[in-house]
């Protein structure tokens, strides 16, 4: 057996194999989770973004969500607020390919909706098609009631 230093926690351990890197299964798991969270593969190289498959459905989240959230917050003048920054972090979290379960993705999505609604509260959305339809309907009703 060979004395080695654990790459995760730094403790000395007796390696059963010359290729051993970690002192225990817990350290191996922690290292794997850290690599996944930082986007680094087991060889220490940037991991290629792989779509996550779940029950035959492939989930691919790209920069589009983060860019759209950032654009909406910037247009509303709320990008540099606490809620604006929180919304960006949530959007980025949804983009990261990680071992999230469907329920955690759903929870993050719901939280993003809530934070965006709070961040954009009171901001008039210009050119909203629903507002335009409502205004036309109200104008038509006013004409019908007057005539």
The answer to whether 55 and 48 are in contact (CB under 8 A) is no
Query: For 68-78, how does the pLDDT look when each residue is reduced to its tens digit (9 = 90+)?
Result: 888 888 888 88
Q: How many C-alpha atoms does 102 have within 13 Å on its Cβ side? A: 7
Note if the pTM is more than 0.85: no
Domain presence at residue 112? yes
Question: Is-contact 95 61, C-beta < 8 A?
Answer: yes
Together in a domain, 80 and 23: no
Strand partners, 57: 54
Cα distance from N-terminal residue to C-terminal residue, the chain: 97
26 and 75 share one domain: no
Task: Please say whether the beta carbons of 15 and 1 come within 8 A.
Answer: yes
pLDDT for 38-54, tens place per residue?
666 656 666 554 444 44
- Give per-residue pLDDT as tens, 99-123: 556 777 788 889 989 999 898 888 7
Provide the pLDDT for residue 142: 92
Q: For the residues 131-143, what does the mean pLDDT come to?
A: 86
- Both 82 and 34 in one domain: the answer is no
Query: Residue 131 has what pLDDT?
Result: 73
Structural domain span for residue 22: 2-38
| Residue 55 located in a structural domain | no
pLDDT of residue 134: 83
In a domain, 7, yes or no: yes
Least confident of 1-10, 69-78, 88-97, 119-128: 119-128
Q: How many separate domains does the chain show?
A: 2
Signed CA dihedral, 93, 96, 99, 103: sign only: positive
Task: Select the highest-mean-pLDDT range: 93-102, 121-130, 137-146.
Answer: 137-146
Same domain membership, residue 64 and residue 34? no
Model confidence at 5: pLDDT above 80: yes
CB 77 within 8 Å of CB 118: no
What's the CA gap between 96 and 99, in Å, rounded?
Answer: 9
Residues 128 and 70 placed together within one structural domain of the fold: yes
Instruction: Give the whole-angstrom CA distance, residue 135 versus residue 15.
Output: 74
């Amino acid at each position: 057996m060979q004395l080695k230093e654990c790459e995760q926690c730094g403790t000395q351990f007796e390696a059963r194999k010359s290729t051993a890197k970690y002192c225990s299964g817990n350290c191996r798991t922690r290292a794997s989770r850290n690599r996944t969270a930082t986007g680094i593969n087991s060889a220490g190289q940037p991991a290629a973004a792989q779509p996550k498959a779940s029950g035959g459905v492939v989930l691919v989240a790209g920069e589009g969500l983060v860019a759209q959230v950032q654009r909406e917050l910037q247009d509303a003048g709320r990008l540099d607020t606490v809620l604006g920054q929180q919304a960006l972090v949530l959007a980025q979290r949804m983009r990261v390919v990680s071992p999230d379960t469907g329920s955690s993705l759903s929870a993050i999505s719901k939280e993003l909706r809530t934070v965006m609604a709070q961040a954009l509260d009171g901001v008039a959305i210009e050119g909203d098609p629903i507002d335009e339809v409502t205004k036309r309907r109200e104008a038509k009703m006013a004409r019908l009631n007057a005539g």
